[in-house]
Amino acid sequence: MSVSIPVGIRVLITGSSHEPGAALFRAMAQIPTPGTGRIVRPAGTLFLSQRPYLPSGPLRDVLITPEKEGEISDHLLLSTLHDLGLERVANQVGGLDAERDWEKELSLKNSSF
Cα–Cα distance for residue pair 98/53, rounded to 1 Å: 18
Dihedral of CA atoms 14, 19, 65, 57 in degrees, nearest 10, equals: 90
Is the distance from CB of 78 to CB of 85 less than 8 angstroms? no
pLDDT, tens digit, 9 for 90 and up, residues 34-80:
778 888 877 877 776 666 677 788 999 888 888 888 899 999 999 99
CB atoms within 10 A of CB 89: 19
Is the distance from CB of 93 to CB of 59 less than 8 angstroms? yes
pLDDT, tens digit, 9 for 90 and up, residues 7-42:
788 877 777 888 877 787 788 777 877 778 888 877
